A = this chain, B = another copy of it.
Amino acid sequence: MNAAQDSISAGRLTVDLNADMGEGFGRYRLNDDAMLATVTSASIACGFHAGDPVVMRETVTNASARGVTIGAHPGYPDLVGFGRRDLAVTPSEVEAMVVYQIGALQAVCVAAGTQLRYVKPHGSLYNRAARDAATADAIARAVRSVDSSLMLLGLARSALIEAAERVGIRSVSEAFVDRAYRSDGTLVPRSEPGAVLDGHGAVADRAMRMVETGTVLSIDGSVVRVRAESLCTHGDGPDAVAIVRAVRTRLEQGGVSVVSFARA
């Protein structure tokens, strides 16, 4: 089962917009809280690749005040590499570190009078979970063992989505509005040319197509199926807020209801 089925059957297109948030640490800040006025879900860093208890509390409080659905965004314990360098962890280590990070953010939510609703792994852990079944299972088991009502947000058609189904928790499939796809449905790595799309209009059109048709044009021009229950937009960068606003406007003008999967 997945989160979008009810809304699709309701006869109207809906989609969630998610962004990574709370990626500061100490004096450092990366994300513009204005983003919270436009997205419907916020994946909040949990202290390993970014985030500290004070930043987490601020971000949870702001997201909650905006009615934005809150997810945990666990990553590798590699602050200097921002969780973006692959680390040869075992599935058992992954399970332990994901349990820890979910628990930390869940407590921050409870203390702030709000609720944690989903989990989305970060950076290299996300990529590893997309392709490696053992890592994906470890994450899905971690989520279920802490709270089986939490949803698991991952790359459409990835090992992580399969793991959620295998383990018996609810999954949410996401697509990337500003990343190039290969014809097999995987993302073009950031290290390759053309990996990241430019232009608000192009990105917004792509988002609309994803929701409307469930497809995306790959970098070599073929049509690729992509389940887009949630659209991932970047939470950082000078242009992040402008891009997500353009995407939301385009979707709403196209008759799409932009709403969190947790409200569907």
Contact = CB atoms under 8 A, between A and B. Distances in A.
A184 to B, nearest CB: 22
A53 B97 contact: yes
Contacts of A85: 87-89
A86 interface: yes
Contact of A100 (B87, B108, B146): B108
Given A47-B100, A56-B96, A56-B100, A25 B79 contact: yes
Q: What band does the interface of chain A fall in when counting residues whose beta carbon is under 8 Å from B?
A: 35 or more
A57 B98 CA distance: 12
Given A52-B80, A102-B107, A104-B107, 11 more contacts: A26-B82, A28-B28, A47-B100, A53-B97, A53-B100, A86-B88, A96-B108, A99-B107, A100-B108, A101-B104, A110-B146
20 contacts: A24-B28, A25-B80, A26-B79, A26-B80, A26-B81, A28-B28, A52-B80, A57-B96, A79-B79, A81-B89, A100-B104, A102-B107, A103-B104, A103-B105, A103-B110, A104-B104, A104-B107, A107-B146, A110-B146, A111-B142
